[in-house]
């Protein structure tokens, strides 16, 4: 059985696709590189946000996540989730005063610091919002949709936190005691005289 011409053209096109994508700057998402190897989780690892954040941190395969309070001084960095707020704000009502549209809001404030108290990422508030049409007759389906929208916002917030954690530069971490700071290289060449 001979391969058809359409099959051969499709195969040739697919073979050229990786070269074309790399030429335009496209790159698959890589695992994050972090400036620290151990991270103390100063947040609830059983809350929905905490579960997803923990899964992403451990899924990177590059961080040991510490959760016991006695392990905090051993950590390279401490991630504090300072607050997590979920709100449902009515933004549209009918002529009879019934809510027709809700705005769902999720705000998470976090910071990254060293065990010595040095802020690597000062307190930052990340916010997400989604609009949800609402009817009393479909209250149960709207509850399910609301849960899906909150999970979607939570995933976005966790991804933003992960990107900010990977943006911390290794030079911003304090050096362990006894580590010498490299001396500046002497200038080469003859010294100029005034």
Domains, the chain: 28-168 (3.30.160.150)
pLDDT at 5: 75
Token pair recorded at residue 35: 């400036």
pLDDT at residue 66 tops 90:
yes
Q: Say what percent of the chain tops pLDDT 90.
A: 49
pLDDT number for residue 182: 43
Q: What is the pTM of this model?
A: 0.70
| Residue 84 pLDDT | 95
Residue 37 in this model has a pLDDT that exceeds 60? yes
Share of the chain above pLDDT 70, in %: 76
| Helix 48-59 / helix 139-166 crossing angle, nearest 10 deg | 40
- Helices (H), ranges, 2-138: 5-23, 48-59
pLDDT tens digit sequence for 161-173: 999 999 998 776 6
Label residue 99 by pLDDT band (50, 70, 90): confident
Max CA distance (Å), the chain: 89
């Amino acid at each position: 059985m001979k391969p058809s011409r359409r099959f051969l053209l499709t195969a040739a096109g697919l073979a050229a696709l990786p070269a074309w994508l790399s030429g335009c700057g496209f790159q698959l998402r890589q695992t994050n590189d972090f400036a620290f190897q151990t991270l103390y989780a100063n947040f609830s690892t059983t809350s929905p946000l905490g579960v997803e954040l923990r899964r992403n941190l451990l899924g990177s395969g590059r961080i040991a996540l510490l959760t016991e309070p006695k392990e905090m001084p051993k950590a390279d960095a401490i991630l504090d989730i300072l607050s997590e707020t979920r709100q449902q704000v009515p933004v549209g009502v009918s002529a009879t005063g019934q809510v027709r549209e809700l705005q769902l809001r999720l705000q998470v404030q976090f910071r990254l610091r060293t065990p010595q108290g040095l802020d690597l990422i000062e307190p930052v508030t990340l916010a997400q919002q989604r609009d949800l049409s609402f009817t009393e007759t479909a209250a149960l389906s709207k509850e399910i949709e609301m849960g899906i929208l909150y999970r979607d916002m939570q995933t976005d917030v966790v991804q933003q936190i992960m990107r900010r954690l990977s943006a911390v530069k290794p030079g911003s971490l304090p050096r362990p005691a006894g580590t010498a700071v490299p001396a500046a290289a002497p200038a080469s060449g003859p010294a100029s005289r005034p």
